[in-house]
Amino acid sequence: MKVLDDFDFTPRIYEKAGELDAVAWAENHGWLVRKIQYIGRKSCPDRLFVGYGQMFVIEMKRKGKTPSRDGKLSAGQKEEFKCYADRGVTVHVFYTGADAIAFLESMMPLL
């Protein structure tokens, strides 16, 4: 059997893997982390990070092979995140656990 020319053999990095890396790091560095979901609604951000006198809402997306294939916010997520923004809350979107960790680390006071 011949493999199709456009078949993509690149290894996949699942969104959940990066999210769990960020969760483990955050919990080991004093952050309280909660998975969040709505009852009867869609488009909820992934996690709530609380610590050091701050609270952040974070959505994790999977990094694609090319920018056009990067995980994108659904129409519902865009609308929901705008509702947050209208009330002064930013939903931070990250494509890798390392980016989320770097953000959280930058929000921690120098000890």
Query: For residue 27, what are its two tokens?
Result: 């919990």
Q: Is 11 part of any domain?
A: no
Can you give the pLDDT at residue 111?
59
Domain membership of residue 81 as a residue range = 33-106
Over residues 27-81, the pLDDT tens digits come to 999 999 999 999 999 999 999 999 999 999 999 998 766 666 678 899 999 999 9
Q: Is 77 part of any domain?
A: yes
Q: Is 19 part of any domain?
A: no
**Over residues 74-103, mean pLDDT:** 96
Residue 9 pLDDT > 90, yes or no?
Answer: no
Give the DSSP letter string of 93-105.
Answer: EESSHHHHHHHHH
Cβ atoms of residues 36 and 44 within 8 Å: yes
Q: Is 94 part of any domain?
A: yes
CATH code for the domain in which residue 90 is found: 3.40.1350.10
10-14, 18-22, 67-71, 100-104, range with the lowest pLDDT: 10-14
CA distances from 50 to 26, 28, 43, 63, 73 (A): 9, 13, 21, 25, 23
Q: Is 27 part of any domain?
A: no
Count how many domains the chain has: 1
